[in-house]
Structure 1
């Protein structure tokens, strides 16, 4: 993989306007199943862009969720998962007896989402829902599958809208391929 600072421009796969449309459609589907006691838990770092946009879209739809973050890592600066999850920072508030909506940028191996669901259940969440902006194809079954998926992504190395390569390209408004 080329160094992100020397690589040519990434190829746009999903332009900013389509990203906004996907987020608004997700909010319309999620708003009826959450309430003001629901805790939206973003998986850091990549899910932050999506979570910010989705929680604002939910608020516009009248769904005012609480917000927290869980910092998990499976990639580090690599282009493939290391096959294990590191927890860098836990939740800041209790989810005991509350519905939790886990938000992440992309679903590929499923390891981060599965670990987040496990952590929420162990923390006493009454219900755990999951939402990812993008789902990539994978050759093996993954558990759990997300409850809400915004975009069926191609099997390419994605950057932009929170997705990165070694910390670079996250700030792109479009979702792009870097391969």
Structure 2
């Protein structure tokens, strides 16, 4: 990735941690230990790990699962379709499912995850994203919980990537 521009820090690690703690405080009252926190892989993994630990510090020890969905591949823009690489690992029927994702832009991945959870018999589906980007068209469903309204820039770090790289940055950065 020799031509990759230098990442510009938009949200430092300390602010990321503050946002995650705030989200946990908002989510804890509407969940319980039977809630299934389902991360959308791969980008949401960093956020989901931090959020579930923050919930645990507040006395909520949610169950954990994952859906592996992809709409970007290695591109900077969505392909406009969702590929499902792996479904839930355990049944979600009758449970509250809290879907966790890193960023909400087109809304395609979140909508597909909600559909899968409902089709699996979830009693209630809540959605939470770390970042929400502006979008010119209405999206459905809007997330129930949003940590940060991000600018309309290409983001990397904290799970967000550029062709699989830069996910491990502790800050959220723009790659302009």
Q: TM-score range by the shorter chain?
A: over 0.9
User: 138, 142, 146: which one pairs with 1:141?
Assistant: 138
Q: For the residues of structure 2 that align with 1:22 and 1:5, how far apart are their CA atoms?
A: 32
Q: Give 1:6 shift.
A: 3.6
Q: For the residues of structure 2 that align with 1:91 and 1:41, how far apart are their CA atoms?
A: 8
* Number of the residue aligned with 1:11: 8
User: 83, 96, 101: which one pairs with 2:98?
Assistant: 101
Q: For the residues of structure 2 that align with 1:137 and 1:8, how far apart are their CA atoms?
A: 23
For 2:51, what is the secondary structure of its paired residue? helix
* Number of the residue aligned with 1:85: 82
Q: Deviations over 1:105-141 (max 9, x none)?
A: 0000000000000000000000000000000000000
2:35 aligned with 1:46: no
Q: Give 1:8 shift.
A: 3.7
* Number of the residue aligned with 1:58: 55
Q: For the residues of structure 2 that align with 1:103 and 1:58, how far apart are their CA atoms?
A: 13
Q: Give 1:27 shift.
A: 0.2
Q: Deviations over 1:7-39 (max 9, x none)?
A: 242000000000000000000000000001100
Q: Give 1:159 shift.
A: 0.2
* Number of the residue aligned with 1:153: 150
Q: For the residues of structure 1 that align with 2:61 and 2:28, how far apart are their CA atoms?
A: 9
For 1:116, what is the secondary structure of its paired residue? helix
Q: Give 1:96 shift.
A: 0.4
2:137 aligned with 1:172: no
Equivalences, count = 176
Structure 1's unaligned 5+ residue stretches are none
Alignment of 1:124-139 (within 5 A): 124-139=121-136
Structure 2's unaligned 5+ residue stretches are none
Q: What's the TM-score once normalised by structure 2's chain length?
A: 0.99
